[in-house]
Amino acid sequence: MILSRRSTLLGAAGLGAAGLPRFAIAQGDQRRSIDIAVQKISNSNTLEVLREQSNVGERIFFSSIWEGLIGRDWLGELRAVPLLATEWKRLSDSAVELKLRPGVRFHNGDEMTAEDVAFSFGRERMFGDTPATAQGRTIAVKGEGIPTRAGRELPAEVPAVARRSWPALERVEVVDRYTVRFHNASPDVTLEGRLARYGSEIISRRAYVEAPSWFDWARKPVTTGPYMVAEFKPDQSLTLVAHDAYWGGRPPLKRIRFLEVPEVSARINALRSGEVQFACDIPPDQIPGIESDAAYEVQGGTILNHRLTVFDKNFPALRDARVRRAFTHAIDRQAIVDSLWSGRTVVPRGLQWDYYGDMFIADWSVPKYDPAEAKRLLKEAGYKGEPIPYRLLNNYYTNQTPTAQVLVEMWSQVGLNVQIEMKENWTQILERSPGRAVRDWSNSAPFNDPVSSLVAQHGPNGQQQQVGEYSNEELNRLCVELETSTDRPRRKQVFRRLLEIAEREDPAYTVLHQNATFTAKRKDIRWKAAPAFAMEFRANNWTA
């Protein structure tokens, strides 16, 4: 078995002989402990949801540590369900009132109250000095952090993400101990959805204020989830233990440990040896080999996340939209799905999902595979074969490297000279430099409206514009209209126009395929994978 630098770490668990799972059992506590091999635990080396907005973070955070007022039914259709709030009602187009669940205990034993909710959405923890605005202006964040009080700084990424999620949230009013009201600076039909999205979870005010520094807090946040942080070793492991005062009942597991094992083969070998009970991020071509042993199974499938190729329109060769449009027409997306994903995912209808309901544009499609059109566009644009850098990480996404290699060949077939530049982390990927042109990314839909993805990621407050890759005057204006309009038929027209701009006329990105995630485990463990990166380990999804 080859476990690289993780061998010592895994071996220290003292778990299992080859092929047989053993679970650590604490003295006097018959609940099991489990170990999970993951590709990565955290990109930012923190556990603060407002800094770690990632696929790898979702797996750990949102069903184990962090909880919001409105939750998701992870094992159902990801619909909104009461969580830390028991009910809510609209007061106006820009205000919503929520009743809090009494008796909820934080990991430090304190009861959650309306004061904690207001603080969670306040200047000191979330927004810094950024204003609530309905104008859709990009938030300029300068320096290493935003001062909030003596001796502490709020990292610049935090208010940037906060305003991406809540561009116009003005204040949270404390009505009484168990009642809060959210007041927006503009009308917003998606307030309930924003409350259910990640980034809207509740923290202990006292624990945050008493933490020695922001990073001390961010590496051991005090929240309300069924499990709490016992130990976090960045780039190595995260150990969670049961929060036995959890409002939803005693958690079924004593301990959950996530182990960072970057290599796919090492994760699979760790599962087969019994050193871990779950192995995540399994490529489709490995599934038949794993399931050839009747003791194992692989669960998972498509999720609310799409894989994208993203363009920096400031790069000289990409300033002409026709060159970016050529990129989109040179991709045979179905061939990628068939060959690299064994048909286990699909080519979606652009950056949208069926669960948008009435806002879903059913007759939309990604740019068609048309090499002749791509060549025509390049000739018309006067592209002469100048090198175009393509930044990516080494299999951060499942099948990322082989997908990139296939894409480069497809682009080469139409005359695009694209050159892969492998980077070590997201800071290097996003670094603003003359060599930033094309990169890999993915977009999720945290709630069932297009402002949760296209606007939040590519609009005025979205990451693409915050890092300076893209801007389009009409798109920005329409993003503001989509966020503030209460005219639902008009909102759908606006969304269609946004897709036309961002995917066809002046491409900000192009969708490759819907993402999928697969988790291998022993078949005798009674647990079900959610249609998401998140892994659910509450009592409703574990049978001893």
**What pLDDT does 76 receive?**
79
Distances in whole angstroms, Cα of residue 128 to Cα of each of 53, 73, 159, 412, 500? 18, 32, 6, 46, 35
Count of H-run helices and E-run strands, the chain? 18, 18
Spatial separation of the C-alpha atoms in residues 302 and 264, rounded to whole Å: 19
How far apart (Å, rounded) are the C-alpha atoms in residues 483 and 119? Answer: 24
Task: Kindly indicate the confidence band of residue 146, based on its pLDDT and cuts at 50, 70 and 90.
Answer: low
How many residues appear in the chain? Answer: 544
Alpha-carbon distance of 515 to 68, in angstroms, equals 25
Q: Which residue has the tokens 């949801």?
A: 49
Q: DSSP state, 284?
A: G
pLDDT band of residue 336 (cuts 50, 70, 90) is very high
CA-CA distance, 130 to 126, in Å (whole number)?
9
Domain residue ranges in the chain: 31-141+149-276+524-539, 301-514
CB half-sphere exposure, 4, CA atoms < 13 A: 11
> Residues 125-145: what's their mean pLDDT?
66
β pairing state of 509-522 and 296-311: antiparallel
Q: Does domain 31-141+149-276+524-539 have CATH number 3.40.190.10?
A: yes
Write the pLDDT tens digit of every residue in 442-473.
Answer: 999 999 999 999 999 999 999 999 999 999 99
**Percent of the chain clearing pLDDT 70 (strictly above):** 91
Going by pLDDT thresholds of 50, 70 and 90, the confidence category of residue 398 is: very high
Mean pLDDT over residues 147-165, rounded?
79
Task: Please tell me the predicted confidence (pLDDT) of residue 75.
Answer: 83
For residue 408, which amino acid is it? Answer: V
User: What is residue 142's predicted lDDT score, i.e. its pLDDT?
Assistant: 43
Segments of 243-387 assigned E as strands: 253-260, 278-279, 296-311
3-class SS at 40?
coil
Q: Tokens 């924003």, residue?
A: 194
CATH class of 301-514: alpha beta
Beta-carbon count within 10 A of 31 CB = 18
How are beta strands 438-444 and 388-392 bridged, if at all?
parallel
Q: What is the pLDDT of residues 251-265, one digit of tens each?
A: 999 999 999 999 999
**Rounded to 5°, angle at Cα 230 from 68 and 103:** 40
Contact 43, 52 (CB under 8 A): yes
Give the strand pairing for 32-38 and 253-260: parallel
Q: What is the pTM of this model?
A: 0.90
The whole-angstrom separation of Cα 460 and Cα 421 is: 28
Tokens at 467, concatenated:
């890092």
Local structure of residue 509 (DSSP, 8 states): E
**What confidence tier does 543 reach under pLDDT thresholds 50, 70, 90?**
confident
Evaluate the CA torsion angle 453, 459, 464, 466 in order and state its sign: negative
User: How many whole angstroms from its chain centre is CA 38?
Assistant: 15
Residue in this structure with the two tokens 């205990």, named with its chain if needed: 105
Q: Which of 381, 512, 382 is nearest to 438 (CA)?
A: 512
- Tell me the average pLDDT across 493-516: 98
Element holding 514 (H helix, E strand): strand 509-522
pLDDT at 15 over 90: no
* pLDDT tens column, 274-324: 999 999 999 999 999 999 999 999 999 999 999 999 999 999 999 999 999
Q: Distance (Å, rounded) from C-alpha 394 to C-alpha 40?
A: 12
Average pLDDT, the chain: 91
Q: Phi-psi region for residue 151, left (φ > 0), alpha (ψ -120 to 50) or beta?
A: left
- Among residues 165, 158, 192, 201, the alpha carbon closest in space to that of 61 is found at 201
Tell me the C-alpha distance between 20 and 507, whole Å: 51
User: Do the domains 31-141+149-276+524-539 and 301-514 sit in the same CATH topology, yes or no?
Assistant: no
Indicate the SS3 state at residue 397.
coil
Q: Which two tokens stand for residue 375?
A: 């060549």
Q: What percent of the chain has pLDDT over 90?
A: 85
Say if residue 151's pLDDT is above 90. no
Mean pLDDT of 32-41: 96
